[in-house]
Amino acid sequence: MTTLPKSGRCFPNIFARITFSSLIEVVGENGMHAVFRMAHLPELIDCLPPANEIKEFDTADFSSIFQNLDEIFGYHGARGLAIRAGRITFSEGLKQYGESLGAESLGLRDVTFAERVERGLDTIASVFNQLTDQRIEVTRAADSERWSFVVHRCAVCEGRQADQPACAFTEGLIEEALFYYSGGSKFRVEEVECSAQGAEACLYTIEIPEPENPPFKV
Ligand SMILES: [Zn+2]
């Protein structure tokens, strides 16, 4: 049972709400009630944060949910659950913000595969950069088939300490976003550095596993 000191940085209510709804869908109500209790946030059992963009859900409370998920289900069990919840969170976010985030409004229909990937990554980054205190940078490697996605002040591992990368939730969210924006390709998304392990930021590498997907052309 772990509680983390408040960070003083807050996440928009709706982001916490969608994330916790997704976790409930994956983990089940009883399991998540146990997680909420262990994180000393029992009020979430009866009432999830409201569906508004007000920044008032402390990011350490957000990360303590993932910390306690690990403690209850073990690293590997929690990792699988968090990835699935991350995927659902992207899909639910798309329903909420559909018009502005949708592939149609981004004009993705007539652009190359690489542009779809990049506009997709840039879109997620700009949503988080505008609405949260996280700072995300997306860069493409010189060989063009890999991207890096760097999250400063990550809310998933705020204040946590871990021996292994702790932000599987974000891996799932990026995977689902790229599946959607690319038009159905599966990507390998791996957190290779994590703030919870002492890194300056959480760093994800993104690549297209061969041979499941169509050949990559720039
Ligand atoms: Zn991390």
The beta strands (E) that lie in 95-187 are given as: 135-140, 146-152
Calculate how far, in angstroms, residue 99's C-alpha sits from the geometric centre of ligand 1.
29
Specify the CATH number of the domain 10-207: 3.90.1520.10
Calculate how far, in angstroms, residue 52's C-alpha sits from the geometric centre of ligand 1.
25
pLDDT (0 to 100) of residue 140? 87
Kindly report, residue by residue over 12-21, the tens digit of the pLDDT: 999 999 999 9
pLDDT (0 to 100) of residue 98? 73
Q: Which residues surround ligand 1, an ion (CB under 5 A)?
A: 154, 157, 167, 194, 202
Kindly report, residue by residue over 167-177, the tens digit of the pLDDT: 999 999 999 99
Q: Tell me how far apart the alpha carbons of residues 104 and 120 are, in angstroms, rounded to a whole number.
A: 12
Kindly report, residue by residue over 6-57, the tens digit of the pLDDT: 888 899 999 999 999 999 999 999 999 999 999 999 999 999 999 999 999 9
Q: Tell me how far apart the alpha carbons of residues 6 and 23 are, in angstroms, rounded to a whole number.
A: 22
Calculate how far, in angstroms, residue 140's C-alpha sits from the geometric centre of ligand 1.
20
Instruction: Parse the chain into domains and list their residue ranges.
Output: 10-207
